[in-house]
Structure 1
Amino acid sequence: MALDDVLLEGEEKMIKALEFLKTEFGGVRTGKASPDLVNNLTVVAYDSHMKLKEVAAVTTPDPRMVMIQPWDAGTVDAIRKAIEESKLGISPIIDGKIIRLPIPALSEERRNDLVKTIRKMAEEGRVALRAVRRIAIDEAKKLQKDGDITEDDLKDAEKEVQKLTDQYNGEIDKALESKEAELMKV
């Protein structure tokens, strides 16, 4: 493996870690309705585990309501069960083959708890970035040990990997700041 491949692979993994974190942030309930709250819930339907977005259309007709319309009426109970077992803390309302999720306003205490939760998620994202950094540097050291690159190339690679790590840590900080502002907005 060439040094450029090591750096590209490291950056790709950092991008995936950032995207995963943003997806996780999307699942944290704020005071307003969003399809992201439920899109990634796992529903047991058709004898397999599927994402909710694969078995139903999810819309937000108003800022305080999420509406789920299953494509097959037989999956309504499975969707209801998945919502009730999730950590959303929202009780679904079944209306024929439509499921409605009223989104209550968040209390100040709940907002603070959610901020703590997203800060923990952000720290987990930073840990993932550091793990990618360590792996990339270890790969570069193997290349240097095998004689594929020089010691100067190794130092340059370490600087480049650190630069990428700092860049994606900054992206995590921006995403965290944005989500905190969204949570604290009344």
Structure 2
Amino acid sequence: MTDKFDLADLKRRMQGAIATLKHEFGGLRTGRAAASLLDPVHVDAYGQISPLNQVATVSVPEPRMLAVQVWDKALVIAVDKAIREANLGLQPTVEGQILRIRMPELNEQRRKELVKVAHKYAEEARVAVRHVRRDGIDMLKRLLKDHAIPEDDGKRHETEVQKATDEAVKEIDAALAAKEKEIMQV
């Protein structure tokens, strides 16, 4: 770590947490098929865990169906198992090297479960943002202790870090509210 305070770097790291959250939200299904729905699925392939997109091609042939074309016939069973165990509520049908996944209608209970998952993802993002804030504040305290910056600058920077944190949390809450509305929409 450098001995120079960099607010832009802290903001970039906070935006990274938000980008990760939005990527995770893309994997939560809302009743329509989307290839990104299977992004969180990881397959035990050749003795190591690999993302699904490294062993198969995911496509959307119909609005309510996904097709997973597995490249290696030996991995079809492993891909099927990984999709079933990913806690996405999906049941693939195996047809040779292609797995067809019909998107079931979301019932009220499943919608509520997905909202809980969305809240968990949002809380993880908030925690990540708070860790970035903590790192920034710790750096400021170290710089103040070493007399590398004046006290007034330290207080001003601390306020800027808190403001950036508040903005990031507000953005996370807005993304969560939008995703929750999308999931609960019938």
Same fold flag (TM > 0.5): yes
Q: What residue is the counterpart of 1:93 in the other structure? A: 93
- Checking the alignment, whether the CA contact within 8 Å between 1:40 and 1:53 is kept in structure 2 is no
- Checking the alignment, whether the CA contact within 8 Å between 1:39 and 1:58 is kept in structure 2 is no
Q: What residue is the counterpart of 2:49 in the other structure? A: 49
SS of 2:43's partner is: strand
Q: What residue is the counterpart of 1:35 in the other structure? A: 35
TM-score normalised per structure 1: 0.91
**Structure 1 residue 70: deviation in Å?**
1.6
CA distance in 1, matches of 2:127, 2:110: 26
The CA deviation string for residues 7-51 of structure 1, in whole angstroms up to 9 with x for no partner, is 233223212211221222222222111112212311111222110
TM-score normalised per structure 2: 0.91
Q: What residue is the counterpart of 2:66 in the other structure? A: 66
CA distance in 2, matches of 1:120, 1:44: 25
Q: Give the CA RMSD over aligned residues.
A: 1.6
Going from structure 1 to structure 2, the CA distance change for 1:49 and 1:113 (only over 3 Å counts) comes to closer
**Structure 1 residue 116: deviation in Å?**
2.6
Q: What residue is the counterpart of 2:12 in the other structure? A: 12
What is the identity, as a one-letter code, of the residue corresponding to 2:184?
Answer: M
Q: What residue is the counterpart of 2:122 in the other structure? A: 122
What is the identity, as a one-letter code, of the residue corresponding to 1:168?
Answer: A
**Structure 1 residue 104: deviation in Å?**
0.3
What is the identity, as a one-letter code, of the residue corresponding to 2:163?
Answer: K
- Checking the alignment, whether the CA contact within 8 Å between 1:31 and 1:106 is kept in structure 2 is yes
- Checking the alignment, whether the CA contact within 8 Å between 2:26 and 2:37 is kept in structure 1 is yes
Going from structure 1 to structure 2, the CA distance change for 1:170 and 1:146 (only over 3 Å counts) comes to same
- Checking the alignment, whether the CA contact within 8 Å between 2:115 and 2:180 is kept in structure 1 is yes
How many residues matched? 185
Between 26-35 and 154-163, the greater mean CA deviation after superposition:
26-35
Percent of paired sites with the same residue: 48
4+ long deviations beyond 4 Å: none
Between 154-163 and 20-29, the greater mean CA deviation after superposition:
20-29
- Checking the alignment, whether the CA contact within 8 Å between 2:61 and 2:67 is kept in structure 1 is yes
CA distance in 2, matches of 1:61, 1:104: 15
